């Protein structure tokens, strides 16, 4: 919010009061009369009369007689107030802006009392008072004048409060678990012994006697005797052991988790601007077919309403309000950057010796010895276990990756006769020094080869690191805005032209910033939820920071300057597809400072980097990009429709 149409100027409204209280009643004033910029004039009389109608009987304070009609000419104003008194018919006040009537006001019917008349309008420069019976007076008249001065900090409106300030989403989750354990054991041992022995012996003797017949009958006697004896022995032995144990343990757990997501935050209360940052609702379990920031984030739903309480200085005529809606957009193409691989670095030194005898004996003129350096056992060096030769750039002498020659203590004969000399890593774990030396004939010195080498090594496996891969993505911040300026009145506020801000809010969407958003991810070897959920939270945090910081970034662009077709993202996307001859050509419309700027440089570099490197103003770079894009459109391409031609620059559909 600004104090007026010009943010660096303050427009104030102050009343100019013209009173006749100091004029003596009964006196005369010149006709016309000019006071404080106001001109009072009556048609007919040569002078204006000073009377004292209020209060009845007079109080010694002068009042200007209205006559039947009084015309007051004023500097252009938007408000006029007058205090009148009449002793007969009411007084009528009519305002004009040039020859156009603005409005009328009439005093009440009460006589011998003061009546305050107020008239508002744009450009009032003349007021006509009419008193039909010539029995009325003007006590004072006030008109408001507008002045401008440089605006200070105290002149700006202040937002003392606003709602809502925050909006958070608490996502609750409950996880329960139960563990049941049991153990049962039984042990039994039985032993039985049974012994049975039976012995049975029997003797049976039987006799029978029958008497002869007698006169008295026949008698018969019989008898039997039996005896049985035996032995039975039973032995039973039994041992039983039965152990039984049963144990059950029941354990239960319940965990309640409340995840806090910040969806709205208000900033800068107490200043002349307020920022409301809205983030999408992160329902990761809610299905959607919309393309959003990242899997799980959703678009902002519903209508967002904000209420602000603003104070401004009493002397301020009004203020201007600018409202800008900024939205963030992720492109589909992102760049994955793996963390640099680090190793344990070391080095090992070794000495190589070889000797070739010179000519000796009777054949000393021709029998000098020639030897290969690699034939010496010291010419092949194997590094420590767990390490490999470090052949990365910068390690070793030029042409000898991973190996450096430190010292040379050979004699002159060895150096002068050295042929096919080389030292290289012949494998990942060994180094070979090769070449040929020869002793001198004619009974001269032999060749003594003695040199020291250093092998640069690194660990075979990289060091453990906590760094994670990063995803780098452009983040387009687009903005659209509205602006209104008004002047305060006793009735409704009056909308006034924006003055010094005619192009401050051009229609359409504009790319105001293109920061790079870096999101740290997890290794894909981990679980899906372990990878996705931290990435979503990190993306929310990065989006929040990018939107909140954009307004104070040095690369921020004003509205109306950069459209989608001139943005860094669009330029980088079409740069690989332009013809080579056009890419190497000079950028169209290049000013003298950027005469050597090619089309490829213009499209592949960012506007901020190009501005720093070439010194070309950003508006010129934007114009050059626009002309380059227009050149890429084929002549037989479909022409845009009439309504598209009327769109602001940078808002047309991208070329096919």
Q: What is the pLDDT of residues 589-640, one digit of tens each?
A: 765 544 578 888 889 889 999 888 888 889 889 999 988 888 877 665 555 4
pLDDT at residue 282 in the model: 64
Q: What angle do CA 93, 98, 102 make, to 5 degrees?
A: 40
Residues 577 and 448 in one domain: no
Q: What is the pLDDT of residues 280-331, one digit of tens each?
A: 766 555 555 554 444 445 666 667 889 999 998 887 778 888 898 988 887 7
Residue 260 neighbours by CB distance under 10 Å: 8
Q: What angle in degrees, to the nearest 10, is found between the helix axes of 607-614 and 618-632?
A: 120
Domain limits at 93?
9-154
Please give the Cα distance from 392 to 500 (Å, whole number): 62
Lowest mean pLDDT among 253-262, 439-448, 498-507: 498-507
Lowest mean pLDDT among 88-92, 150-154, 456-460: 150-154
Domain boundary among 459, 476, 493: 459
pLDDT at residue 341 in the model: 85
pLDDT at residue 108 in the model: 92
pLDDT of residue 653 exceeding 60, the answer is: no
CA distances, 162 to each of 1, 153, 280, 538 (Å) = 14, 21, 21, 29
Residue 146 · residue 15 · CB < 8 Å? no
- Of residues 112 and 2, more confidence is placed in 112
Q: How many CA atoms lie within 13 A of 604 on its CB side?
A: 11
652: Cα separation from own chain's centroid = 27
pLDDT of residue 649 exceeding 50, the answer is: no
124 located within any domain: yes
557 located within any domain: no
213 located within any domain: no
Q: DSSP of 256-317, one letter per residue?
A: EEEEEEEEEEEE-TTSS--EEEE-----TTS---S--SSTT--PPPS----EEEEE--TTB-
Which residues lie closer than 8 Å to 87 by C-beta, 6 or more apart? 53, 111, 112, 135, 136
228 located within any domain: no
125 located within any domain: yes
Q: Is 634 helix (H, G, I), strand (E, B) or coil?
A: coil
Please give the Cα distance from 292 to 294 (Å, whole number): 6
pLDDT of residue 191 exceeding 60, the answer is: no
pLDDT at residue 335 in the model: 75
Structure tokens at 85: 């008194």
Average pLDDT over residues 210-214: 71
pLDDT of residue 650 exceeding 90, the answer is: no
pLDDT of residue 42 exceeding 90, the answer is: yes
Across the chain, how many H-helices and E-strands are there?
8, 35
Beta strands in 400-546 (DSSP E): 400-401, 403-408, 419-425, 430-438, 447-459, 470-474, 476-487, 494-496, 510-513, 516-520
410 located within any domain: yes
Residues 449 and 570 in one domain: no
Please give the Cα distance from 436 to 452 (Å, whole number): 17
Average pLDDT over residues 516-524: 71
Average pLDDT over residues 527-545: 68
- Of residues 151 and 384, more confidence is placed in 384
Domain boundary among 131, 154, 177: 154
Please give the Cα distance from 420 to 442 (Å, whole number): 24
Where would I find the H helices in 430-549?
A: 528-549
Average pLDDT over residues 511-539: 69
Burial class, 256, CB count within 10 angstroms (exposed 0-12 / middle 13-18 / buried 19+)? exposed
pLDDT at residue 185 in the model: 52
Q: What residues does 255 pair with on adjacent strands?
A: 175
pLDDT at residue 382 in the model: 94
Structure tokens at 608: 């901020």
Structure tokens at 580: 């080579």
Please give the Cα distance from 24 to 27 (Å, whole number): 6
- Structural domains in the chain (count): 3
Structure tokens at 511: 């790319």
Structure tokens at 286: 């809610």
* Pairing status of strand 403-408 against strand 447-459: antiparallel
Q: What residues does 335 pair with on adjacent strands?
A: 472
Please give the Cα distance from 64 to 32 (Å, whole number): 12
Average pLDDT over residues 480-489: 84
Residue 428 · residue 388 · CB < 8 Å? yes
Name which of 515, 542, 569 is nearest 293 in CA terms: 542
419 located within any domain: yes
Query: What is the chain's mean pLDDT, rounded?
Result: 80
387 located within any domain: yes
Structure tokens at 245: 């144990």
Domain boundary among 426, 459, 492: 459
pLDDT at residue 654 in the model: 38
Please give the Cα distance from 169 to 157 (Å, whole number): 33
- Of residues 203 and 391, more confidence is placed in 391
pLDDT confidence bin for 107, thresholds 50/70/90: very high
Average pLDDT over residues 143-158: 84
**CATH code, 80:** 2.60.120
Please give the Cα distance from 607 to 619 (Å, whole number): 10
Structure tokens at 224: 């039997």
pLDDT at residue 141 in the model: 95
Q: DSSP of 40-90, one letter per residue?
A: EE-SS-SEEEEE--SSTT--S--EEE--SEEEEEEEEEEEEEEEEEESSSP
- Of residues 273 and 331, more confidence is placed in 273
DSSP 630: H
Q: Is 601 helix (H, G, I), strand (E, B) or coil?
A: helix
Please give the Cα distance from 68 to 81 (Å, whole number): 19
pLDDT confidence bin for 75, thresholds 50/70/90: very high
pLDDT of residue 199 exceeding 70, the answer is: no
Q: Which one of 54-68, 461-475, 500-514, 532-546 scores highest in mean pLDDT?
A: 54-68
pLDDT at residue 541 in the model: 82
């Amino acid at each position: 919010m600004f104090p007026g149409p010009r943010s660096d100027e303050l427009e104030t409204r102050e009343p100019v009061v013209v009173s006749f209280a100091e004029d003596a009643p009964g006196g005369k004033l010149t006709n016309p009369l000019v006071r404080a910029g106001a001109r009072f004039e009556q048609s007919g009389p040569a002078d204006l009369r000073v009377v004292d109608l209020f209060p009845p009987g007079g109080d010694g304070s002068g009042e200007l007689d209205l006559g039947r009609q009084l015309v007051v000419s004023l500097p252009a104003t938007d408000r006029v107030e007058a205090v009148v008194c009449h002793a007969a018919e009411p007084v009528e006040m009519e305002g004009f802006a040039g020859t156009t009537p603005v409005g009328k006001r009439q005093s009440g019917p009460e006589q011998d009392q003061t009546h305050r008349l107020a008239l508002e309008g744009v450009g009032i420069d003349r007021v006509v008072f009419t008193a039909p019976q010539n029995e009325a007076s003007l006590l004072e008249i006030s008109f408001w004048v507008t002045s401008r001065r440089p605006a200070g900090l105290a002149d700006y409106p202040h937002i003392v409060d606003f709602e809502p300030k925050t909006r958070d989403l608490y996502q609750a989750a409950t996880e329960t678990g139960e563990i049941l354990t049991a153990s049962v054991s039984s042990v039994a041992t039985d032993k039985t012994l049974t012994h049975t022995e039976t012995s049975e012996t029997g003797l049976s003797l039987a006799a029978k006697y029958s008497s002869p017949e007698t006169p008295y009958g026949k008698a018969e006697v019989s008898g039997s005797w039996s005896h049985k004896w035996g032995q039975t022995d039973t032995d039973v032995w039994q041992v039983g052991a039965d152990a039984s144990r049963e144990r059950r343990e029941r354990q239960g757990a319940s965990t309640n988790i409340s995840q806090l997501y910040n969806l709205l935050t208000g900033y800068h209360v107490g200043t002349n601007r307020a920022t409301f940052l809205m983030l999408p609702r992160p329902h990761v379990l809610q299905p959607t077919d919309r393309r959003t920031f990242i899997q799980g984030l959703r678009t902002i739903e519903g209508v967002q309403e904000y209420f602000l309480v603003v104070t401004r200085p009493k002397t301020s005529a009004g203020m201007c309000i600018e409202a800008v809606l900024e939205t963030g957009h992720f492109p589909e193409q992102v760049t994955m950057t793996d963390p640099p691989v680090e190793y344990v670095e070391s080095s090992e030194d070794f000495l190589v010796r070889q000797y070739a005898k010179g000519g000796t004996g009777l054949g000393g003129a021709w029998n000098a010895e020639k030897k290969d350096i690699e034939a010496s056992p010291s010419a092949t060096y194997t590094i420590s276990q767990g390490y490999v030769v470090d052949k990365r750039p910068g390690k070793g002498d030029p042409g000898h990756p991973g190996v450096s020659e430190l010292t040379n203590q050979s004699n002159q004969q060895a150096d002068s006769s050295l042929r096919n000399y080389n030292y290289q890593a012949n494998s990942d774990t060994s180094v070979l020094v090769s070449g040929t030396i020869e002793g001198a004939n004619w009974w001269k010195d032999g060749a003594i080869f003695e040199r020291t080498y250093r092998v640069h090594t690194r660990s075979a496996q990289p060091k453990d690191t906590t760094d994670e891969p990063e995803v780098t993505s452009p983040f387009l911040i687009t903005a659209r805005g509205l602006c209104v300026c008004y002047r305060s009145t006793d009735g409704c506020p009056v909308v006034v032209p924006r003055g010094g801000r005619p192009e401050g809010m051009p229609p359409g969407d504009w790319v105001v910033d293109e920061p790079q958003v870096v999101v740290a991810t997890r290794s894909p070897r981990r679980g899906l939820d372990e990878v996705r959920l931290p990435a979503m939270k990190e993306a929310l945090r990065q989006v929040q920071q990018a939107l909140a910081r954009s307004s104070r970034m040095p690369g921020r662009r004003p509205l109306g300057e950069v459209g989608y077709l001139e943005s860094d993202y669009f330029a980088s996307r079409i740069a690989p597809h332009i013809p080579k001859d056009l890419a190497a050509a000079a950028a169209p419309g290049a000013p003298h400072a950027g005469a050597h700027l090619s089309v490829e440089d213009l499209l592949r570099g960012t506007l901020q980097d190009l501005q720093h490197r070439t010194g070309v103003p950003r508006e010129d770079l934007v114009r050059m990009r626009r002309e380059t894009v227009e050149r890429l459109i084929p002549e037989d391409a479909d022409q845009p429709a009439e309504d598209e031609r009327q769109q602001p620059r940078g808002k047309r559909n991208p070329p096919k």
